[in-house]
Amino acid sequence: MTSTITVEHLWKVFGPKPERVVGTELAALPRAELRARTGCLAAVKDVSFAVEAGEVFVVMGLSGSGKSTLVRCLTRLIEPTSGEIGIDGEPVREMNPRRLRELRRHRVAMVFQHFGLLPHRSVLDNVAYGLEIQGVGRAERHRRAGEMLALVGLDGHEQQYPEQLSGGMQQRVGLARALAIDPAVLLFDEPFSALDPLIRRDMQAEVRRLHAEVGKTLLFITHDLAEALTLGDRIAVLRDGELVQVGTPEDLVGDPADDYVADFVRDVPRSDVLTLKWIMRDPAPGETVEDQPLPAATVIRDAIPRVLGAKLPIPVVDGDRRVGVVDADQLLPALIGHHRQVPV
């Protein structure tokens, strides 16, 4: 089965005559030098990845690293310079305008950092907008929009106007609007960056709940590592337009591909993210261990009471197979040492 989203060797170069960059020696230049030489800016540089159905895929990077450009290339809100994009196996770059509109109307919806609501329409009509432009009748689209508002917890606000709502509520409208067309894929471009931290946490919870309820494929952009770790099944790290690493949260924290990623994850409490798999050691020959094993996927923090309370090392199992042992000696560096290379 094909992945829901596939991206292969995607390039987006801004500036004069962008075609000349890809596939020449210019392509290898760092951003700043390319800019000095040609006036072009490579916002997305040879990016490839695949997102599976039902997955929450997070793209993370500093501001200016090309995240927004990347996600806009997926439905060609920004026209890519080169590379392949597939949605459900269908090549997006070969779509004609009509087909592309079909894609945007029915299959992929997007939620924006600055909401992008229409100030002259009521909340209900904002949510119904996508259906309206598809030609769905008034009664039907209002019914569906009402359902979506209920789903995001905004029932009762139908007749209000965006400016009368708080930022968090406005973004719920944005979410409802995206959900209203019942897309298979939802794209989020830093949807919660403009919100207060407390509200942001609520909204993250909301997204998790919705994902559990409606089961869509989510591609989520953020510059906030905590958000990426909370939401992501897998995380891709972008730097100056290039993909540096793709992996699970543990992969990133436990095994950063380079200093850039390591810097990113430096302040993450490792015991909260890493599992025993990352700190267990091989048992010494003939070593005696506890009876009750711990699964390798146990997060370190959850294992602390048992490990500290045990007199003997605890065996770590992956299913039925014993893969290693863990005791207080392994635990402590993971708890205190943020900078030390964690032994694999």
Partner 1 sequence: MTATMTRPVLRAGAPRWGRVLPVLLVVAAVVGYLVFRTDAAADSEDAAAFRFFTQVRDWVDANRDTSPVFLYGVNYVRLGVRLLVDAVRSGLSGLGFAGLVAAVTALAAVLAGWRTALVALGGFLAFGFLGLWTESVDTLVLTVSAVLLAVLIGVPIGVLAARVGWVGAALRPVLDVMQIMPTFAYLAPMTLLFLIGEPAAVIATLIYAVPATIRITELGIREVPVTTVEAATALGSTGRQLLTKVRLPLARPTIVLAVNQTIMMALSMVVITALINAPGLGQNIVQALERVNVGAAFDAGLAIVVMAVVLDRITAGAARRRAGRWGRGRWAAAAAALVAVVVVALLPIGEDLPRVSFAAPVNDLTGWIELHWYDATEWLKNAVSAGLLDPLETVLTTTPWWLFVLVVAAFGALVGGWRTAGIAGLAAAGIAGLGLWQHAMQTLATVLVTIVLTMAIGVLLGIWSARHDWFAAGLRPVLDAAQTMPSFVYLLPAVALFGASRFTAVVAGFVYAFPPVVRLVDRGLRDVPATVVEAATAAGSTSWQLLWKVQLPMARGGLLLAANQGIVMVLAMVVLGGLVGAGALGYDVVAGFSQREDFGKGLAAGFAIVLLGILLDRLTQGFHHAKGPR
Ligand X SMILES: Nc1ncnc2c1ncn2[C@@H]1O[C@H](COP(=O)(O)OP(=O)(O)O)[C@@H](O)[C@H]1O
| Contact residues for partner 1, defined by CB under 8 A | 36, 72, 75, 77, 101-106, 109-110, 112-122, 129-130, 132-134, 161, 174, 177, 181
Piece in contact with ligand X (CB under 6 A), picked from 58-66, 164-172, 178-186, 227-235: 58-66
> In the bound complex, what is the minimum distance in angstroms from residue 7's beta carbon to partner 1?
18
The H or E element spanning position 100 is: helix 97-102
- Total binding residues toward ligand X, as defined by CB under 6 A: 11
Cα–Cα distance measured from residue 58 to residue 253, given in angstroms and rounded to the nearest whole number: 15
Backbone angles phi, psi at 321, to 5 degrees: -85, 135
Measured from the CB atom, is 68 or 204 closer to partner 1?
68
Name the token pair of 74. 């997926």
45 forms part of the interface with ligand X (CB under 6 A) = no
CB 67 within 8 A of CB 239: no
302 binds, among partner 1, Mg ion, ligand X, none (CB under 5 to 8 A by kind): none
| Interacting residues of 301 by C-beta distance below 8 A, sequence separation 6+ | 269, 271, 272
Closest CA to 207 of 318, 106, 58, 89: 58
Name the token pair of 207. 């997204």
CB 164 within 8 A of CB 126: no
63 forms part of the interface with ligand X (CB under 6 A) = yes
Measured from the CB atom, is 6 or 170 closer to partner 1?
170
Measured from the CB atom, is 109 or 238 closer to ligand X?
238
Q: 144 in helix, strand or coil?
A: helix
233 binds, among partner 1, ligand X, Mg ion, none (CB under 5 to 8 A by kind): none
Name the token pair of 22. 């890809």
> In the bound complex, what is the minimum distance in angstroms from residue 221's beta carbon to ligand X?
7
6 forms part of the interface with Mg ion (CB under 5 A) = no
68 forms part of the interface with Mg ion (CB under 5 A) = yes
Piece in contact with ligand X (CB under 6 A), picked from 59-67, 142-150, 210-218, 254-262: 59-67
Cα–Cα distance measured from residue 202 to residue 223, given in angstroms and rounded to the nearest whole number: 18
Measured from the CB atom, is 68 or 275 closer to Mg ion?
68
112 forms part of the interface with ligand X (CB under 6 A) = no
CA–chain centroid gap for 197, Å, is 18
Binds ligand X by CB under 6 A, chosen from 14, 20, 105, 295: 14
133 binds, among Mg ion, ligand X, partner 1, none (CB under 5 to 8 A by kind): partner 1
Backbone angles phi, psi at 86, to 5 degrees: -125, 135
Taking CB positions, which residue lies at the least distance from Mg ion? 68
Burial level of 153, CB count in 10 A (0-12/13-18/19+)? middle
The Cβ-side half-sphere exposure at 300, using a 13 Å CA radius, reads 26
Cα–Cα distance measured from residue 75 to residue 73, given in angstroms and rounded to the nearest whole number: 6
> In the bound complex, what is the minimum distance in angstroms from residue 47's beta carbon to ligand X?
12
Measured from the CB atom, is 41 or 325 closer to ligand X?
41
> In the bound complex, what is the minimum distance in angstroms from residue 248's beta carbon to ligand X?
22
Residues that bind ligand X (CB under 6 A): 14, 41, 43, 61, 63-69
Residues that bind Mg ion (CB under 5 A): 68
